[in-house]
Structure 1
Amino acid sequence: MTLVAPLRAFGRDDLALAGGKGANLGELVRKGFPVPDGFVITTAAYDLVAGGHDTRDHFERVELPAELREAIAAGYAALGRGPVAVRSSATAEDLPGAAFAGQQDTYLNVVGEEALADAVRRCWGSLWGDRAVAYRHRLGIDPGEVRIAVVVQSMVEAETAGVLFTADPVTGDRARIVVDASSGLGEAVVSGLVTPDHYVLDAAGEVTAYTPGRREVVIRGAAGGGVVRESGAGASGERLPGEALRELARLAGEVAGHFGRPQDIEWAYAGGQVRLLQARPMTALPPPPLGRLNPVRRKLGAILLEYMPVRPYPIDMSTWVPYGPAGLMARVTGHFGIRGAFEDFLVEEEGVVYALVPPRPRPSIRMLVTPVRILRLARRHDPARWTEDPRFRAFVAATEELESRDLAALPWPELVRVPRQALDLVQPVADLRIDYLPGSGLALLRLLVSLKLLGRGKEFGDLIAGARTRTSDANQALEELAEEARLTGALDADPPPAAFAAKLRDFLAEYGHRETASPLLVTPPTWADAPETVLGLVRVLAAKPPAPAAGGDALERLLAHPRLRTAARRARMTRRVQAARAGVAFREDSHFFFTEPLPVLRRSLVEIGRRLRDAGLLQEPEDVFHLRLEELEGIDDVRTPAEPDRERLRAAVLRRAAKREEFAGVRLIDPAAIFPARPAGDALVAGTPAGGGTATGPVKVIADPAEFGRLTEGDVLVCPYTNPSWTPLFQRAAAVVVDTGGSASHAAIVAREYGIPAVMGTGEGTSVLADGQLVTVDGGTGLVSAAS
């Protein structure tokens, strides 16, 4: 049993014995990096004194066994018995996804054996401090599986010290090195006590940007042990010499290269030499900048960002992402000769989605015959009759059969097959879209050309907005629910009146498979899973009877055109409008039906998760989202899984949950890459004009569907994204401002239908505008300005 050993005895694979910090430092020592000499008091020593206790008080008072005390004394003697730094090194820290920065204690300038023993005790105890316990709980880390080692190193009395990042922590640029430095020990920089000198370096160590710090505090070692804080009096010190910066850049590149990922490094500079005090993986690092995107990639990025407002889970990546709407569109575009339009746009890191990268579609040889194929399909398949297609009827019947199964009663082998069966159901829908979309597109094109020839091209949007779709049916049903609520006071009654409850049940049975957040993911709840979302919409709609939708008489206005005086011409134009509306309805309704298997897919996964929880493999049923479908299908018997399988699944969930937590504040993509900054002048926000004139009202930022009920009549709806679930709100909003999307997005089309101003693709509306702020939205210029 190794209680104490030199740093060089450990490497990156010795996490269980040396903890994260000790393992990383030992790896650096082995590879010849300039690390102060030291030793590790291993997790075996911690186990020796734990005795089943897990309180801070126990460890801070525990008596060290003689064997351990002697080993520590020997290690201290080997360092010359001078001042040392004593650092906690837990087995769950300095890991990708769980940095544990600042969660356990560090003690500097420790002098003497007794002081060293006391510092070791306090490091052990810090594993059970309130902040460390809370941090582990948030990450779902089992406290019984965590141990702590202690690293003891010769103290470096730094002239200047600080932190460097081997990539820009703000932009994600891997070609930049960011250095924060200040006088004295680096603790002042690490703990945020000072405004440090801030350097941005290129790979060669040349300074590309510099901001002087203020040195409010300087921390130095005190005579006899401990540290003192001296006032820096706000004075600026000397800049780091060029050779020191170049050495830091060289070491940054080598350390990052050795560990294979960007690093967060603590360093000290003394006597003309740089020393490395700690290295750990950078956490919460944004994806690398994409650079300038061409118009096609920007357009695809806008579509994907609008439909991917939340980070996918591993179960999404192995189910609905490749088989759902994105996978369907990949098949459709591939059929017509375009490769890669909706494929491989999500980048994973250690099993968790890290970034969204707009794909690079490319033509194939099949595009040469695409025009002929489109014309042939358009003649054969009328979008107005697509629900009569036998393939559609078979899809509906199979979906109803699968939904009728009692998942809770299914034996494990049958239950674990249900997700794959649900995914298989949707595959024929791709063939339906391939066959019927050409007719839809040509009908829309024919109408647009006809309107242009009549000088009425601007009425195109109003005309096709008159299409009856399952979305418009859902919105009408919501209005009926709202009317019932107004008449009965159902929203304030507990329990609600029976008539309202029955209408709500019927509504969810018909429309409950609609997504709340994203049509591309299975993990967010549907309306049926989260009926509070529907009630939030009803509350908004019930506040006031609906106003008539704009553009309702667009066809009558068109038929009054002087060049449509004859009955034959009016009939022909009416048919063209009806055909275009049928094309819109097909696009909308095929998506509506396509997502019908989504609830049973989600319920089957949650039921699998419930059984895994009952078997002790998961903490909560929803933890199953951290696993991939093939991993679930590999479990033969949930009641008696093999121990290696049990440990493998537990470890995968823990690791991916921590990684996902790391990415919690990291965007999948910088919206500025897709929605470049637009000249705003004196305006607060600028975006893509999407029509509807101007309107003034108070801002209401709605971050997600759970907040629908906060919108009130006349508010300016400001939101990060939209999908069909959001559109009922447009009936009450004065205007809509969206971070994502363009003038042809679903939100823009519906906003024009209701005659309200819309500004799309602002990239920053939800972060710049605040609740209650009075603004004027101009849908014609794309500007949002402070109201005078």
Structure 2
Amino acid sequence: MRASRGVAVSESRHRGEPVAEGRSREEPVAGSRGQVVSASRGQVVSASRGDVVKAERSHESREEAVKLVAPLDAFGHDDLAVAGGKGANLGELVRKGLPVPGGFVVTTHAYGQVAQGHDTREHFERAELPAGLRQAIADAYAGLGGGPVAVRSSATAEDLPGAAFAGQQDTYLNVVGEEALFDAVRRCWGSLWTERAIAYRAKLAIDSSGVRIAVVVQSMVEADTAGVMFTANPVTGDRAQLVIDASSGLGEAVVSGLVTPDHYVIGASGHTDFTPGRREVVIRGASGGGVARETGAAATAERLPDAVIEELARLGRDVAAHFGRPQDIEWAYAGGRVHLLQARPMTALPPPPVGKLNPIQRRLATVLLEYLPERPYPIDVTTWLPYGPAGLMAKVTSSFGIHGAFENFLREEDGVVYQLVPPKPHPTPRMLATPFRFLAKARRYDPARWTEDPRYRHYLGRARELASRDLGSLPWERLVRVPREALDIVQPVADLRMDYLPGSGLALLRLLVTVRLLGRREWFGDLLFGARTRTTDANEALERLAEVAERTGALDAGPLPAAFEAELGAFLAEYGHRETSSPILVTPPTWADAPEAVLGLVKALAGTPPEKKEGDEALDRLLRHPRLRPERRRARVRRWVAAARAGVAFREDSHFSFTLPQPVLRRSLLEIGRRLVDVWVLDRPEDVFHLRLEELEAIGDVTALPTDDKERLREKVRSRAAKREELSGVRLIDPAVVFPSRATGDALLTGSPASGGVATGPVKLIRQPADFGKLNGGDVLVCPYTNPSWTPLFQQAAAVVVDTGGAASHAAIVAREYGIPAVMGTGTGTSVLQDGEIVTVDGGAGTVARAT
């Protein structure tokens, strides 16, 4: 069923009274780029800030030629500024010869005549139309036959990625008579200045001072059946399918969600799946004007004829092909003919389905989803993502003969990441020599001694020197080079990874084979718990910080005590570069950038933490094995366990150290953003995240940036921000593809078994670091993702349930360390489970069930 677009349809029994259609949608027209043109001055005004620049002469001459009122076919692709989004789009369809009801546009010139600098709804609803404009509208109305018409708002600020303006301006149906038409036009103008429309524009950073509105007037189509057609599946994103929703009477019943419509899904082959609706309400034109509701009158109406479905599908594909992107089309069927009433680009459309994943793709997707809890910005895509941990792993896997494991897995649209496509790594001839290189490196490079490597020491020196710079005092030409310096510092780290990972992998494999041969495979994870890592150090430092907080009263309301602030400052100096959400993105804040996340952890840890498993206990149990009675075998196993723990420590500690330049990179970008704010390019420093690194590096002297360049940068930021807003509710990939559903039986959901045991407790949804302080002892922690920054919470949780990740993730490892059940990769845990719900988590079976 199509979601409701706004309010219910009002009824009118008064002759000629215009009736709101439910705040009909406003449509962008393909090709425009979010600028609006002042009809009175012939100037282009930036929708983001309102700076005025000269328009092209051809556009100015076109404006001068357009009258106050003109037929639909007078407008097209380039006339957003005069006809608004709806008018320009409909003009395109008329010019293409598609079946659009006849009509005309009251242009933005007319609006400008009446506005006279006023921007309130009350002004327009009381305003007198100039005599010449009244006559022009009356003549055009007479040209349509003087019968009932639909009067639709058509604002200029509509061709913005992610800004459909659905329901923001008004539409009036079945308007009868000149005076009723004049009144409807005034009301459409006034709807540009409702609180909801102003707030919507403010949300999208659209300068209201530059927005104008036209009005589209069309012959009313008294539909037998009407509805909406999507030229791509709005749920799955499948571009090969068309989806049609239909019901009896006017399409407003479908648009406003007043009915459960008939639902048609048309495949590429033409096969149609049909689900009948219920037709709870039918909306028709009233005899004296306005519309009226009927209930139950058409509950048994039959489905659309096949010929009509085929005609709609053909028209839909034609419209989509013409505009070059999937379309959202309103249509009506009357008197044996199909009419197209509106068309606009589909917004918030999910990415196309990626198809079935092979096991390697699924494993990589599991890792990538855990690392990408939020949509990357353009600056992420051009900085930390390809050069940070993901880029390093791409180099490492490539060095061992596997190409494409961590590369080219993101797709962009309109400059914004819109889809994650799991990569398909493949072997190269270099892989033939990998076993020999692997063994050679394992013998030469001991993970237990990697911090003694001169390359690591050199790296630390460069990272510390970069972190010590006063970015605010650097001239622009030096500041703009800092991001690239930070990225360059990290690159030699790939060599360290390539050299020491073989030893780590070999040590872990050797221990795994040993415990398997001894029949103690289940002890493998426990044996690794003795590894001393920087994550362990950070967690223990947090425990001490929580003790200080309790002792000094830092958890009470009011300013933080000086003693606690000093301890917190020391903690952030050592561990503040840890990520809050993603290790492969630069835009999310670190602990130092968002100390409130650390305070949330401190609050969660207040009290006595549970006992942690001890790795030495597992080792003692293993050494008591009958086959390990000879001391030399016991000594060998001790060495192998120590080597495996060193391998685990290398994985954790190298990540900890190699993210040191990330905060410097982030701070330099924000300083660049601050200076762009100073010269009126950005509204706030964080807007710099919408730009790419090469776009920043191309700026010469920021204080002498030409006006055209400023406008170009502003427009990129505005359009990308709007596109990102459009995609805010759209996932990068369907979780069901990565985490296929399994038979749950009585369970609420299933996932990958990650840490054994069974625990029961209340669900506590923790969606982001800002929520850390909400966790109480004994809660079942349910979250969308985890990383090392989240793991201190495991000391208080009874169990862990995560949407992403697998048995080898940080969350799973730490959950096993603390001996609590963990279920990873549920895909939908945060949407299925509710706060406070009592559930039982079986970490061995990978299930979450309602407690009985």
Structure 2 length normalisation: TM-score? 0.90
Cα deviation for residue 206 of structure 1 reads: 3.8
**Higher mean C-alpha displacement, 569-578 vs 664-673:** 569-578
Please identify, of 704-713 and 44-53, the stretch whose mean Cα deviation from structure 2 is larger.
44-53
Q: Evaluate the alpha carbon distance shift between residue 263 and residue 550 of structure 1 in structure 2; reply closer, same or farther with a 3 A threshold.
A: farther
Give the Cα–Cα distance (whole angstroms) in 1 for the partners of residues 385 and 111 of structure 2: 45
Which residue matches 1:780? 844
1:551 positional shift: 4.2
1:567 to 2:631 alignment? yes
Paired AA for residue 488 in structure 2: D
Q: Which among 244, 252, 272 is matched to residue 207 of structure 1?
A: 272
Q: Which residue of 2 aligns with 1:40?
A: 105
Instruction: Judge conservation of contact 1:96–1:281 (CA < 8 Å) in 2.
Output: no
Deviations 1:268-296 (A, max 9, x none): 00011101000111111111222211100
Preserved CA contact (<8 Å) 1:683 1:786: yes
Q: Kindly tell me the number of residue pairs found equivalent between the two proteins.
A: 787
CA contact (8 A) 1:97 1:660 kept: yes
What secondary structure is seen at the aligned counterpart in 2 of 1:700? strand
Residue aligned with 2:239, SS = coil
Q: How does 1:145-544 map to 2 (within 5 A)?
A: 145-203=210-268, 205-210=270-275, 212-232=276-296, 235-492=299-556, 494-544=558-608
Supply the AA of the counterpart residue of 1:25.
L
| Match runs of 1:52-67 below 5 Å | 52-67=117-132
Partner secondary structure for residue 705 of structure 2: coil
**Is the 1:95–1:281 contact (alpha carbons within 8 Å) kept by the matching residues of 2?**
no
Alignment-derived partner of residue 623 in structure 1 = 687
Q: Which runs of 5+ in 2 are unaligned?
A: 1-63
1:69-128, Cα deviation, whole Å (9 max, x unpaired): 333233223222222111111122254311111110111112222222211111111111
Looking at structure 2, the residues matched to 151 and 106 of structure 1 have their Cα atoms a distance apart, in angstroms, of: 9
The alpha-carbon distance between structure 1 residues 171 and 562, as it changes in their structure 2 partners (threshold 3 A), is: same
**Aligned residue type for 1:662:** E
Q: Residue type matched to 2:76 in 1?
A: G
Alignment-derived partner of residue 762 in structure 1: 826
Distance in 1 (CA, whole Å) between partners of 2:681 and 2:505 is 50
Change (3 A) 1:205 1:72: farther
Corresponding position of 2:29: none
Structure 2 residue 796 is matched with structure 1 residue 750: no
Residue 238 of structure 1 and its aligned partner are, at CA, apart by 2.3
In 2, Cα distance between equivalents of 1:692 and 1:773: 21
Distance 1:196 1:80, change over 3 A: same
Stretch moving more, 94-103 or 438-447: 94-103
Matched to 1:730, the amino acid is F
**In structure 2, the residue corresponding to 1:379 is in which secondary structure?**
helix
Q: Can you list the C-alpha shifts for 1:35-54, whole angstroms capped at 9, x where unaligned?
A: 11212222222223222211
Decide which moves more: 612-621 or 316-325.
612-621
Instruction: State the superposition RMSD in angstroms.
Output: 1.5
Deviation for aligned residue 1:673:
0.2
Tell me which amino acid in the other structure corresponds to 1:98.
A
**SS of residue paired to 2:218:** strand
Letter in 2 for 1:270: A
Q: Which amino acid aligns with 1:487?
A: R
- Higher alpha-carbon deviation: 543-552 or 704-713: 543-552
Which of residues 95, 103, 112 is equivalent to 1:30?
Answer: 95
- 1:348-369, CA deviations, whole angstroms, 9 ceiling, x for partnerless residues? 1101110111011111111111
CA contact (8 A) 1:21 1:94 kept: no
Give the 5 Å matches for 1:129-140: 129-140=194-205
Give the CA deviation at 1:493: 5.4
Structure 1 outlier segments of 4+, above 6 Å: none
Q: Does 1:695 align with 2:759?
A: yes
Deviation at 1:636, TM superposition (A): 1.6
**Offset at residue 216 of structure 1 (A):** 2.3
Q: Does 1:649 align with 2:710?
A: no
Partner of 1:360: helix, strand, or coil? Answer: coil
Displacement of 1:205 in angstroms is: 4.7
In the TM superposition, 1:576-595 aligns within 5 A as 576-595=640-659
Distance 1:167 1:487 in 2: 60
Corresponding residue for residue 91 of structure 1: 156
CA–CA distance in structure 2, aligned partners of residues 640 and 151 of structure 1 = 44
- Name structure 1 gaps, 5 residues minimum: none
Q: Does residue 143 in structure 1 map to residue 205 in structure 2?
A: no
Q: Are the counterparts in 2 of residues 194 and 217 from structure 1 also a CA contact under 8 Å?
A: yes
TM-score by length of structure 1 reads 0.98
What letter is aligned with 1:731?
A: Q
Conservation of the 8 A alpha-carbon contact between 1:42 and 1:150:
yes
Distance 1:362 1:548, change over 3 A: closer
User: Structure 2: which amino acid aligns with 1:411?
Assistant: P
Q: Quick check: 1:613 aligned with 2:677?
A: yes
CA distance in 1, matches of 2:810, 2:255: 47
- Aligned: 1:548 with 2:612: yes
Does the CA contact (< 8 Å) of 1:550 and 1:755 recur in 2? no
Q: Is the 8 A contact 1:718 1:736 kept in 2?
A: yes
Q: Which amino acid aligns with 1:249?
A: A
**Which SS does the other structure have where 1:491 is aligned?**
coil
The alpha-carbon deviation at position 199 of structure 1 amounts to: 1.8
Question: Residues 587 and 385 (structure 1 numbering): CA distance in 2 closer, same or farther, change over 3 Å?
Answer: same
Q: Which residue of 2 aligns with 1:717?
A: 781
Q: Distance in 1 between matches of 2:81 and 2:122?
A: 24
Higher mean Cα deviation, 505-514 or 37-46? 37-46
Inter-partner Cα distance in structure 2 for 1:512 and 1:236: 66
Deviation at 1:198, TM superposition (A): 1.7
2: CA distance between counterparts of 1:653 and 1:666? 20
Secondary structure at the aligned position of 1:185 is classed as coil
Q: Matches of 2:524 and 2:98 in 1, distance apart?
A: 68
Contact kept? 1:94, 1:280, Cα under 8 Å: no
* CA displacement, residues 649-684 of structure 1 (integer Å, 9 cap, x when unaligned): 111111111111111111111111011001110111
How far residue 495 of structure 1 moved from its aligned partner, in angstroms, is: 2.5
